[in-house]
Structure 1
């Protein structure tokens, strides 16, 4: 299987004019684009995925409902639709997604061997009751799902921040607007 190719960016977010494999992107800390999708149910609860314990980064931690890299030549919204299908087993169209904001994030993981420099687009989606009942975690990516109200999330995060992948800009949005 060929490694996913990702468009590389300059530090200011503009296209660098070339693509390369995901391994190189993260070993060299090249800037790139990703998506975060926050799913809600009809009661306003937030879906958190439990990252697979076999993931290279942040194994076994609570994370965004789903997220992923934007493949070379693809659009942000198409990547979001693909990630919803792959990680949650949910079939949606681009019209179902609400664009929320773009953020810039830098992190050093795994003792410095994984450099994650990204611009990411955040989307919000509401799942139907049928979709909520039929979520399918992607093997090797997601071990399960947990629904939390905003209050439950902030209380758990305050007591045990080490159990969550940190997304400060997303969390601020969840606190103020979700």
Structure 2
């Protein structure tokens, strides 16, 4: 069995534990935890996903993250993914969550923020390139077709701080 995740309902309540691949194949809701990384100057980290990634290979993203494992909170998953993908430990702050319909499968996305130093060590199996950009530069990059589609909606919500709130209150804590 692969990566175990919690299958959740439309209100983000746990209904069981399933294999993540199965959740995606059956379009079952599960949880994904992401982090927006900023440096001390407020710039945002943008990265290109490795070419051999199973999801969105070679595309650009501003979110670092992945599926929350069974029994893991959004915050715990976000902190773990930050360490796995960037080689840094930093406190993550919950920003909001929403029901993302997803290009591949639907899921609840928890978005966090963290301030990290520019001295990061991205895992080359996950990240092939990275740069620190301003919010204006990020908005421009997100308009390109090479940007992960799911993260474009997250960016709109993040920069608008919930103006486009969907299911769930973006200020709601988990």
Distance 1:174 1:29 in 2: 25
The match for 1:171 is 155
Does residue 106 of structure 1 match 2:101? yes
Q: Tell me the alpha carbon deviations over residues 66-119 of structure 1, each in whole angstroms, 9 at most, x when there is no partner.
A: 111110011111111100100000012xxx22211011111343xxxxxx2101
* Superposed CA RMSD: 1.7
Distance 1:146 1:137 in 2: 11
The match for 1:118 is 107
Structure showing the higher helix proportion among its residues: 1
The match for 1:13 is 12
TM-superposed CA distance for 1:48, in Å, is 1.3
TM-superposed CA distance for 1:32, in Å, is 0.4
Distance 2:38 2:154 in 1: 14
TM-superposed CA distance for 1:174, in Å, is 4.2
The match for 1:47 is 45
Distance 1:30 1:121 in 2: 16
Mark the structure with the bigger radius of gyration: 1
Q: 1:43 aligns to what SS in structure 2?
A: coil
Q: 1:53 aligns to what SS in structure 2?
A: coil
The TM-score normalised by the length of structure 2 is 0.84
Given that residues 75 and 93 in structure 2 are in contact (C-alpha distance below 8 angstroms), is that contact kept between their aligned partners in structure 1?
Answer: no
Distance 1:68 1:38 in 2: 13
Structure showing the higher strand proportion among its residues: 1
Structure 2, unaligned stretches of length 5 or more? 162-174
The match for 2:167 is none
1:157 pairs with one of 139, 142, 156: 142
Equivalent residue pairs, number: 160
The match for 1:97 is 92
The match for 1:113 is none
The match for 1:112 is none
Distance 1:15 1:83 in 2: 21
Q: Tell me the alpha carbon deviations over residues 20-67 of structure 1, each in whole angstroms, 9 at most, x when there is no partner.
A: 111111111111011110000111110012111001221111113411
Structure 1, unaligned stretches of length 5 or more? 110-115
The match for 1:23 is 21
| Cα pair distance change 1:73/1:41, threshold 3 Å | same
